[in-house]
Amino acid sequence: MKKLATPAALLLAALTYFVPTLAGGAPVIYAACITIAILAVMSYGADLILSYLGEVSLGHTIFWAAGGYAASLLAVNAGWNGWQTAGAAIAVSIVLAGVLGLATLRTREFVFSLVTYAAAVVAMEVAFNWPFLGGSDGIVGVPPLQLTLFGVGVNGAGNVDLWPVAWGLLMLTLLFIQRFRRSRLGTSALMVQMNPDLAQALGVDARAVRFLVFVASAPISALAGWLYAYQRAYVGTDMFESYFLVLMLTAIVIVGRRLLLGPLIGTSLIIVQQTFFSIGGDGDKIVLGAVLAGILLLWPRGMIGLWDALVSRRSSRPRPSEPTRS
């Protein structure tokens, strides 16, 4: 069953390509699907840190925003196409992750979270006050995405045009995560988290593993920010807001950690509520925060943990004795 789980999950994710069409093809449907794909990819970046290192990175909005700013600056000021801006987003995020990863190399758990959060606050203030990055006004007028290869591809900014790109980015991310889980680095990361003494005995360099996983997670969130910039044709300091951080963490934990489709399902639940069952901007944020707090306090293992608890409770109930036959 476990061998079939990953192929089935990937097939299910691939079939989401047809969701906008099956749901009627309305603009709001395409917009919601693109948003789900983008924010799910953003969450998968933070998921590598939380699920495989057991650390909470409160600074992943840096990489998310870095991807958006890199795309916007180079598309607006230099006329770069989508391939070029995507490459720039990856490169910038790796450099930033390398610097932040080295700075936090000796930190763990609570201190690691505080340092990464402080870095995000500093990054937001730099973006807000630096004219090169648009300052408080941000960068407006991001041109339509040009992502063609041999004359075939996307050359537009409409939701219908962007959906194949968002879906393709989501699928590439899932394939990367699936590959990471089975890689030596992924195995070492879990070993460092769950049994550091055994990892050390086997010659695993815990610091090197933590650094490499941190750097590997950054381009994922950065590419989500890259596409987000094209979706709304604008990038500003709002990308550093705590809303995106809380959304990342909620999407990761609401279903359960180390599940291939966990962040995707979690993001889908959040965006569907905010798009089709919204109670207002502030109200939706309250719901999001309440869900995160409730999961962490009541069911730390997420919906999967709740389901296992219910099944276990039901199976532990004494069965009524069968009537004796005369």
Q: What DSSP designation does 277 have?
A: S
pLDDT at 96: 97
pLDDT at 4: 43
Instruction: Count H helices and E strands in the chain, helices first.
Output: 14, 4
The helix or strand, by DSSP H or E, that contains position 153, with its residue range, turns out to be: strand 152-156
pLDDT at 105: 87
pLDDT at 243: 93
pLDDT at 2: 41
User: Does domain 2-315 sit in CATH 1.10.1060?
Assistant: no
Grouping H, G, I as helix, E, B as strand and the rest as coil, residue 130 is coil
Q: Are 67 and 89 in contact (CB under 8 A)?
A: yes
pLDDT at 317: 64
pLDDT at 203: 87
If one counts every other C-beta atom within 10 angstroms of the C-beta of residue 117, the result is 17
Query: In degrees rounded to 5, what are phi and psi of residue 131?
Result: -60, -30
* Residue 82 CB partners (closer than 8 Å, separation 6+): 145, 146, 147, 154, 230
Tokens representing 12 are: 């299910």
pLDDT at 323: 52
pLDDT at 106: 85
Sort strands 145-149 and 152-156 into parallel, antiparallel or unpaired.
antiparallel
pLDDT at 156: 74
Q: To which residue do tokens 């599940």 refer?
A: 259
Q: Are 238 and 127 in contact (CB under 8 A)?
A: no
Q: Where are the domains of the chain?
A: 2-315
pLDDT tens digits for the chain (326 residues)? 344 467 888 999 999 999 999 999 999 999 999 999 999 999 999 999 999 998 999 999 999 999 999 999 999 999 999 999 999 999 999 999 999 999 998 888 889 999 999 999 999 999 999 999 999 999 999 999 988 877 777 777 788 889 999 999 999 999 999 999 889 999 999 998 888 888 888 888 989 999 999 999 999 999 999 999 999 999 999 999 999 999 999 999 998 888 899 999 999 999 999 999 999 888 988 989 998 888 888 887 778 777 766 776 776 666 555 454 44
pLDDT at 1: 37
